[in-house]
C-alpha cells in the first residue's frame, strides 16, 4: 500500500513570496489533515477535511493560508504572502474513517524555509 505522498520535500522562499504544497493521501482515506511543525515543537493542526469538506480550520491563519481538497482526494496548502515565522515542516496525514480510534498516517513532510 502506498503511503501519504507530499511534494516538494524542501522549499526555500523569500518573505512575502507565495508557496504551495501538495498532498496525496492513501487511497480510500476520507479524512485529510494538514499540520504545521515548527522546530522544537510538536505538530499543530492547521486544517482537517472530511472528503472535500472542511471540518476544522480554527487554527488556520486565514489571512495568508488557504487549503483545498478538490474531488475529495489530493489537497493543496498555500501560503501567500509568507512570513519568516512560517518556516516549519508541513505534514499531511490521512485516516480511513472519522473516529478517534482510526490511525492517522503521516507523509514525510515539506520543510519550508522563509528567508
Partner 1 sequence: AQSVTQLGSHVSVSEGALVLLRCNYSSSVPPYLFWYVQYPNQGLQLLLKYTSAATLVKGINGFEAEFKKSETSFHLTKPSAHMSDAAEYFCAVRMANQAGTALIFGKGTTLSVSS
Beta strand pairing call for 10-13 and 110-114:
parallel
Min separation Cβ 73 and partner 1, Å: 19
Q: Which helix (H) or strand (E) holds 19?
A: strand 19-24
In the set 18, 51, 80, 98, which binds partner 1 (CB under 8 A)? 98
Separation in Å, CA 42 to CA 35, 36, 80, 89: 9, 8, 24, 10
110, 13 contact by CB (below 8 A):
no
Q: Taking contact as CB under 8 A, which single stretch among the options 18-26, 39-47, 62-70, 78-86 is the one that binds partner 1?
A: 39-47
Q: Does 42 bind partner 1 (CB under 8 A)?
A: yes
Q: Taking contact as CB under 8 A, which single stretch among the options 11-19, 20-28, 53-61, 62-70 is the one that binds partner 1?
A: 53-61
Separation between Cα atoms, residue 2 and residue 97, nearest integer Å: 17
Residues lying near partner 1 in the complex (CB under 8 A) are found at: 4, 31, 33, 40-45, 48, 50, 55-56, 58, 91, 93, 95, 98-104, 106-109
Amino acid at each position: 500500500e502506498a503511503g501519504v505522498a507530499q511534494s516538494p520535500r524542501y522549499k526555500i522562499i523569500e518573505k512575502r513570496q507565495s508557496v504551495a504544497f501538495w498532498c496525496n493521501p492513501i487511497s480510500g482515506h476520507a479524512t485529510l489533515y494538514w499540520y504545521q511543525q515548527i522546530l522544537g515543537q510538536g505538530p499543530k493542526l492547521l486544517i482537517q477535511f472530511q472528503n472535500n469538506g472542511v471540518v476544522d480550520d480554527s487554527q488556520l491563519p486565514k489571512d495568508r493560508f488557504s487549503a483545498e481538497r478538490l474531488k475529495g482526494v489530493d489537497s493543496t496548502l498555500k501560503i501567500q504572502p509568507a512570513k519568516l515565522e512560517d518556516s516549519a515542516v508541513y505534514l499531511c496525514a490521512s485516516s480511513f474513517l472519522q473516529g478517534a480510534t482510526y490511525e492517522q498516517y503521516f507523509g514525510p513532510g515539506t520543510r519550508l524555509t522563509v528567508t
